[in-house]
Amino acid sequence: MYEGISFIPMTWTDMLYLAPELTLAAVFLLLVVLDLLLPRRVDRLLIGWLTLAGLLVSLALVIWRMADMNGAGAAAGAVQLLDNSYRIDDFGGLLKIVFLSGTALIVILGIGSEREKDGIADKGEFFYLLLPAVIGAMIMASSGNLITLYIGLELLSLTSYVLVGMKRKSSLSPEAAMKYLVTGGIASAFVLFGMSYLYGVTGSVNIAAVGAALPGALADYRALVYVGFFFLLAGFGIKIAAAPFHAWAPDVYQGAPTLVAAFLAVVAKGAALAVLFRVIYNTLLVASYGEGSVIAGDVFLAMLVLAGAAMLTGTTAALRQSNAKRLLALSGVANAGYLLVPLGISVTIVNSGNFSQFIYYLIAYLFMTIGAFAVISVISASAGHEELKGFSGMYYRAPWTAAAMVVFVLSLAGLPVSGGFFGKLFILFGAASAKAYWIVAVMVVSSVISYYFYFRLVRQMFMRSGNDEQEIRIPGTTGAVIWLCAAATLILGLFPGPLMSVIDGVFSIQYDLLFQ
């Protein structure tokens, strides 16, 4: 059936709600012009610092808006723009903080990269192309409409394709960009195909309307509803590199510039998971009673199966890796599985902290992953390659950086005392309370397997002597990012309660995730 939609114009108040995204868009346009006008020898650092300033201003605006909305009380609900096509709520706000913080850390790493050793560090476009990418991630986190969601997805994807291929001096970078373009195009086609089925059976692209119409659609179009949701899962499964849709990740991470690989691992993955949260919970969770209970159960089970496959495949495949970036890519496959668990166990009477578990682990994953990629960038610049043997004797050449890497490895492996330990523990307890004991067993087994390949790094750093005994040079900004990430990882491991209290105090599943 046709859904009549009347045009609702934007007001100045609406524009203020969109200030974080509009700020980044304005800075992006400014930097494009500056890059054309400024001489090459001065534009790189200036554009880098201006990009960082734009990200920090946008981050401050997001935090200010969240503080303003929560000051009036959580019961005030979300702000709906353009007939609920775009939502300003704490769900999107918390995720935008993660995306902007991660991108800011990556920009700082780029500012500190050595021009002669990094194939993209002397290019101003690397910095300002991150802005539309993170805008796309922010749009995905706040979308209330399938069309808006897809626009954000494509903005993030198209910019990422360019970023992956920016290391023109390397033969691996164009190959990685082509592989990412092809797999990303297939993923986008799957997502669009699944959306078209949901629109066809419900007559709406508004996510709330899809959820409301779904119980009625199941009576006549049950098979088509299944097709729609499973194509969505397949498309976003590719985007987050969850097995069996992960084959592109090791090649793309290896060929992409290290900083771009870090962006894909944190921001792109987090944005795709945010979309799954929005769509699945506002359609199937609402329809999980009566006629919709069967399909809701099947889709949630499929997400858990996807999570289990990602954890086991990622950890077992990483056992054979000798390249540090490929190892982190497969670690990201396993971590995509951990992050999928809170989505797949659904909301029950005894477990309603799904989003808190998800966002806590995403924050911990941000710091430990960006920190690990920062160390890899230092080692690759020193050794001239990204193989694990480049870490040999690192303790003797850069002892403090080696200690920071141990912190990241402990967190990635999920060992005390680290943010990754409590992140996995919260997710494990949530799955156990929902009586999903089999996924608990998979989490434990995959974590134990991961100890072997993570501690290969530790063995290289402390128990192997390198061929090159000269001291490793670490740029000041890179060292600052490494230690900021290490400190945050330790703080999250020593004091997990304050962050969980803040998330629980701000977020409300009724007002910030489920559409009213």
| pLDDT-wise least confident of 130-139, 327-336, 504-513 | 504-513
Q: Per residue in 424-435, pLDDT tens?
A: 999 999 999 888
DSSP string, 110-122: HHHS-TTT-SSTT
Three-state secondary structure readout of 441-490: HHHHHHHHHHHHHHHHHHHHHHHCCCCCCCCCCCCHHHHHHHHHHHHHHH
Q: Per residue in 341-369, pLDDT tens?
A: 999 887 665 566 888 999 999 999 999 99
Residue 215 pLDDT grade (very low, low, confident, very high; cuts 50, 70, 90): confident
33 burial (CB, 10 Å; 0-12 / 13-18 / 19+) is exposed
The reported pLDDT for the residue numbered 468 is 55
Count the Cβ atoms, other than its own, within 10 Å of residue 416.
Answer: 12
Supply 40's token pair.
């090459």
**Does the pLDDT value for residue 8 go beyond 70?**
no
| pLDDT-wise least confident of 40-49, 155-164, 368-377 | 40-49
Q: Per residue in 471-505, pLDDT tens?
A: 778 888 899 999 999 999 999 999 999 999 999 88
**In residues, how long is the chain?**
516
Q: Per residue in 426-472, pLDDT tens?
A: 999 999 988 899 999 999 999 999 999 898 888 888 877 655 556 77
The reported pLDDT for the residue numbered 68 is 86
- Taking the domains of the chain in order of start, what are their residue ranges? 15-513
Residue 253 pLDDT grade (very low, low, confident, very high; cuts 50, 70, 90): very high
**Does the pLDDT value for residue 117 go beyond 60?**
no
| Nearest CA-CA partner of 442 in 300, 314, 265 | 314
Count the Cβ atoms, other than its own, within 10 Å of residue 116.
Answer: 8
pTM: 0.93
Output the average pLDDT for the chain.
88
- The C-alpha atoms of residue 110 and residue 276 are separated, in whole angstroms, by 30
